[in-house]
């Protein structure tokens, strides 16, 4: 029996190429999304309670992701017709219109992303991939089937990654950190001369822990 190989993309890897049908038509990911941020998230199955709450929660924050220049893409191993019917149900019964595409993955795609849940058949885990405009994987979250995701944390993560690329590292719980609120951490100096100047240039707890206002 041929061994099935699972590969989970590592941080900094290029997002694996996926060609698949979606509720918005055929897509080539990440090619069709090159030059912009996107969040690809998988769910175990259509027409399941936790997944339904997640889709509604993602859609409720759709405008927040759009303001960040970040596209949303859903995915499971269900077929496109199942996705379409489920999305129709969410609109008809819950009054929420899903605006993002949903990929109909197969086992090969799921294995490529390390999304199949061992011991749970062909269902996919609740994976989240945040990918930057260069198609690089910047953040990965994996949840078990039993635990729904916190979409506010995913929005926060996209914001934090974008800010850290331009301004510096963000602290725990940003923008509500217990020590420095929404301020940005200044990269530590790499020589003694800069270390001596650091406390004169910024607000610091010490030369290795300085911070500045969010721009």
Cβ-based neighbour number of residue 181 at 10 Å: 14
Closest by alpha carbon to 165, among 152, 178, 184? 184
Residue among 51, 70, 204, 210 flagged as catalytic:
51
Q: Which residues contact 188 (CB under 8 A, 6 or more apart)?
A: 207, 208, 209
| Contact predicate 158/132, CB 8 Å | no
| Contact predicate 68/158, CB 8 Å | yes
If you search the block for the tokens 């041929």, which residue do you land on?
2
Is 204 among the residues known to form the active site?
Answer: no
Q: DSSP assignment of 148-194, as one string?
A: ---HHHHHHHHHHHHHHHHT-B--TTTTSBTTTBT-EEPPPPSSHHH
Specify whether the backbone of 13 is left (phi greater than 0), alpha (psi in -120 to 50) or beta: beta
Q: Which residues are catalytic?
A: 51
């Amino acid at each position: 029996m041929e061994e099935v190989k699972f590969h989970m993309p590592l941080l900094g890897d290029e997002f694996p190429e996926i060609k698949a049908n979606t509720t918005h038509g055929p897509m080539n990911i990440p090619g069709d999304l090159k030059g912009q941020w996107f969040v690809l998230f998988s769910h175990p199955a259509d027409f399941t309670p936790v997944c339904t709450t997640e889709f509604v929660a993602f859609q409720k924050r759709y405008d927040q992701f759009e303001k960040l220049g970040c596209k949303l893409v859903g995915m499971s191993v269900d077929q496109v017709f199942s996705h379409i019917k489920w999305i129709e149900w969410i609109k008809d019964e819950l009054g929420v219109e899903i605006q993002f595409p949903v990929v109909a993955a197969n086992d090969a795609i799921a294995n490529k992303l390390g999304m199949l849940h061992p011991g749970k058949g062909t269902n996919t885990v609740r994976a989240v991939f945040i990918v930057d405009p260069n198609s690089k994987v910047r953040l990965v979250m994996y949840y078990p089937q039993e635990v729904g995701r916190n979409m506010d944390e995913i929005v926060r993560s996209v914001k934090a990654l974008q800010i850290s690329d331009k301004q510096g590292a963000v602290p725990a719980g940003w923008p509500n950190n217990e020590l420095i609120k929404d301020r940005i951490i200044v990269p530590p100096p790499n020589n003694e001369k800069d270390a001596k100047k650091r406390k004169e240039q910024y607000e610091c707890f010490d030369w290795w822990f300085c911070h500045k206002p969010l721009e």
